[in-house]
Structure 1
Amino acid sequence: MTGFCAQAWQHTARLQQAMLDLRFNTELSDGVLSRERFQFYLVQDARYLVGFGRALAALATRAPEVDDVAFFAGAAREAIVVERELHAGYFERFGLSQRDVEQTETSPTCLAYTSYLLALATTGSVGELAAGLLPCFWVYHHVGSAILARQATRASGAPENPYRAWIDTYADEEFGAAVASCRDAVDRTAAAAGPDERARMLAAFTRATEYEWLFWDSAYRMESWPTKGLR
């Protein structure tokens, strides 16, 4: 792999490894993550996907190549329809009612991440927006694939991981193909950009990757607003 995406991945290599080492992901991999933490994560992720889908839709309207218009428009639909179906299945499996979902407040990190992406959609260039959206694809596939590989080393007869459906979704080859399509679009955009634009793209990719780390960390902590008692 060469080009901008290879540079961006190398630039964030320490963050990518730190992502795998987060307690949320190691405990999810071992199947021992608490139900409460996963429930909290699911609600925040469902909220995030709405903003993510809107940012993807905005990118679809601005992408210069027709194939990229189709890809990002399709990805926006996937974020809203397909992944929400996965969440709905988990809501049911883990006993989350619609009332439980509605009563869970959007966390500071979730709000900050979605606001950042929507700000890129409003004020950023096409390259910045594409680079800022890429980590959600790429990091999830990276983490899902790493966890799946770790699952293969588990002892025979070990209990089924209750989070296996989540793992399979993001380690899936079809999802991997979507990641590759997104990388190709970002690489083409970067190749046509000047040095200043590529620097802004790298900054957007890095910041979004940081938000991915923060999102899982905040889910493990079941982050709430420290000012809640002051309202």
Structure 2
Amino acid sequence: MSRLPAPPPGGFCAGAWEHTAALQQAIVEHPFNAALTDGALDRERFAFYIVQDARYLVGFAQALTAASTRAEDPADAAFLAGAAQGALVEERRLHAGYVEEFGLTEADLAGVVTSPSCTAYTSFLRGSALVEPYPVLLAAILPCFWVYQHVGSEILAAVGDVSGHPYRRWIETYADDEFAAAVLNARELVDRVAAAADAPMRQRMLAAFARASEYEWMFWDGAWNREQWPTARWLPA
């Protein structure tokens, strides 16, 4: 397992990461990820996260599928379509394993309300797929790839041997070399598209990348707090 190589100097991705560097560090240092690193994250929080993430991945896959239909290069279209399939199949298989391990039933899952942060993030991606141009959609999608790989690699570097870690499968999934290669492909695609775009379009891409990174932080924060809708008290169950 290895970390990603440094982004190429001067590319869009290098600038976008630098622009959001403080936020990316805050994501790594968030109490959820700090507790996950230590193996001290309680199961209730992780189970809440797993349910939210499984629902998020549906919207993420829809955004990837929309991007694949707009790609002019067949190789790019195939990569995006394959990533959509991976979101729905491979990563959800990881979730299913944890659901089984925690002894959750379908009734338990159905009883967990989709959090405000999960709803907002998936709505942002679906909205980007509907109304934003292809370069902006790609920039909105990229943080889910890149941030997870970054967090997984940072946790693996901090832990070292994860053989006895309670969240070993999660760490290995996102610190895996194959996932790192997919992230690098995504970054190279975004860099190529940004290089062909004009300055106003690149600014829109940067705004989308930053907003998606904000939603990444909010997603983990929502899981840490097991976020609920503050208006639920006024609505029937």
The answer for unaligned runs of 5 or more in structure 1 is: none
2:224 is matched with 220
Give distance in 2, aligned partners of 1:198 and 1:66: 23
Q: Deviations over 1:161-206 (max 9, x none)?
A: 1111000000000000000000011001000000000000000000
Give the counterpart letter for 1:32 in structure 2: A
SS at match of 1:216: helix
Give 1 or 2: higher helix fraction: 1
2:179 to 156, 172, 175: 175
2:4 is matched with none
1:30 to 25, 38, 46: 38
Give distance in 2, aligned partners of 1:189 and 1:113: 23
Indicate yes or no: 2:202 matched with 1:198: yes
Q: How many residues align?
A: 227
Indicate yes or no: 2:152 matched with 1:148: no
**How high is the TM-score relative to the length of structure 1?**
0.96
Give the counterpart letter for 1:27 in structure 2: A
Q: 1:132 Cα deviation (Å)?
A: 0.4
2:71 is matched with 63
The answer for unaligned runs of 5 or more in structure 2 is: 1-7
Indicate yes or no: 2:121 matched with 1:113: yes
2:5 is matched with none
**How high is the TM-score relative to the length of structure 2?**
0.94
Give the counterpart letter for 1:211 in structure 2: Y
Report runs of 4+ in structure 1 exceeding 6 Å deviation: none
Give distance in 1, aligned partners of 2:123 and 2:85: 19
Match runs of 1:129-144 below 5 Å: 129-144=137-152
SS at match of 1:26: helix
Give distance in 1, aligned partners of 2:178 and 2:163: 27
